[in-house]
């Protein structure tokens, strides 16, 4: 297939493209706005590969998007481009509405017009795969069953509300126009090439430098952790095998409290890069963010059965490999932080508006 991937230089998008280049014969058209969290380095060998084309542009640019469909004639769309950081959505929700809602509408409108002109097997095979989050389902209490494909929506932040709205648009285009769309929802991802403001890289880099480790509230908030390479493999299965009109909840069965994650990072770094102090002593509990959801967890049973897929990484082992990756790629994240934060370190003071998710 020739697949239009939006946001392909982001954390999850780049993992998808690496998988497509390494594991399949598919051709990739990568549309990315190249915002602060994008990195061509994350494409690895896909950068410059004959089956990968990078186009810099905005998914909300209707003229550009229509031209891409006309010129490249994709067989499928994998829509990953999104603003994703919850704290940023609280401080400035407008860009989340523009990208996640308006941008998704522009893609759907262009895809519908393009698909309507296709014929025969080409029309029947076309897919529009929209990648979303478990945060659209709201918050779970400690004893609540995990999210599934049929969990009612209850978004709590500007970010999750914008993603919920985009999910609804995608399903509406399927039911109203017949566009063969698929939605997948996933949990927290981790792994190499993740931007340093997210929980695991932020804590890893602060702990490596023996700086304070900010944790919201009392650290009991729970997240399901999925290695990004496992997620990418699942997403490729969805676009290749998924049934139009379906939803796939993709999770790892690896629910951990934020405090457990931070303490595990500290223990691994104390082993891999010993310091004069125990890193756990640097943990600092900070004021909780507004509307902080207590628990997210996905039951991936349907996706595992329907796709013949399951997460391969056990969290502690995947986390160790991730930390080893950051230790081996200091030049990447040091340059990134220097440019993004103008010489600041991501300590407690500098994360007042960049706190962990």
CA end-to-end span of the chain, whole Å? 35
Residue in the block written with tokens 């697949």: 3
Catalytic residues: 134-135, 159
Give the span between the Cα atoms of 100 and 81, in whole angstroms: 8
At residue 163's C-alpha, the angle toward residues 112 and 340, to 5°, is 110
How many other β-carbons are positioned within 10 Å of the β-carbon of residue 72?
Answer: 15
Please answer whether residues 237 and 307 qualify as being in contact, where contact means their C-beta atoms are separated by less than 8 angstroms.
yes
In whole angstroms, what is the distance from residue 29 CA to residue 51 CA?
8
Q: How many CB atoms lie within 10 A of CB 282?
A: 21
Q: Alpha-carbon distance 216 to 288, whole Å?
A: 5
Q: Which residues contact 124 (CB under 8 A, 6 or more apart)?
A: none
Please list the residues that pair with 2 across neighbouring strands. 27
DSSP codes joined into one string, 24-53: ---EEEEEE---TT--SGGGGGGTT-TTEE
What per-residue string of b and e applies to 242-266 under the rule 16 or more CB within 10 Å gives b? beeebbbbbbbbbbbbbbebbbbbb
């Amino acid at each position: 297939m020739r697949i239009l991937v939006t946001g392909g230089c982001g954390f999850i998008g780049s993992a998808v493209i690496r998988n497509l280049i390494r594991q399949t014969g598919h051709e990739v058209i990568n549309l990315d706005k190249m915002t602060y969290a994008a990195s061509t380095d994350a494409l690895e060998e896909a950068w410059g590969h004959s089956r990968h084309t990078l186009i810099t542009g905005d998914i909300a640019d209707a003229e550009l998007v229509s031209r891409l469909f006309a010129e490249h004639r994709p067989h499928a769309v994998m829509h990953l481009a999104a603003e994703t950081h919850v704290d940023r959505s609280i401080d400035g929700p407008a860009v989340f509405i523009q990208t996640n809602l308006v941008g998704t509408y522009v893609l759907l409108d262009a895809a519908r017009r393009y698909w309507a002109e296709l014929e025969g097997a080409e029309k029947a095979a076309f897919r529009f795969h929209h990648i979303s989050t478990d945060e659209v389902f709201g918050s779970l209490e400690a004893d609540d069953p995990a999210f599934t494909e049929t969990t009612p929506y209850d978004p709590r932040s500007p970010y999750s509300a914008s993603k919920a709205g985009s999910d609804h648009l995608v399903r509406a285009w399927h039911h109203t126009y017949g566009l063969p769309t698929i939605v997948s929802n996933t949990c927290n991802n981790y792994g190499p090439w993740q931007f340093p403001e997210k929980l695991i890289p932020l804590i890893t880099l602060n702990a490596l430098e023996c700086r304070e480790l900010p944790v919201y509230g009392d650290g009991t908030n729970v997240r399901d952790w999925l290695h990004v390479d496992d997620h990418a493999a699942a997403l490729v299965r969805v676009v290749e095998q998924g049934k139009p009109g379906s939803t796939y909840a993709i999770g790892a069965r690896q629910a951990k409290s934020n405090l457990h994650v931070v303490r595990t990072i500290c223990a691994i770094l104390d082993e891999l890069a010993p310091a004069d102090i125990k890193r756990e002593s640097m943990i600092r509990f900070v004021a909780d963010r507004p509307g902080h959801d207590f628990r997210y967890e996905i039951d991936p049973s349907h996706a595992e059965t329907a796709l013949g897929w399951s997460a391969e990484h056990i969290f502690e082992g995947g986390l160790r490999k991730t930390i080893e990756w950051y230790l081996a790629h200091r030049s990447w994240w040091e340059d990134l932080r220097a440019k993004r934060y103008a010489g600041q370190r991501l300590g407690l003071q500098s994360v007042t508006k960049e706190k962990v998710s």
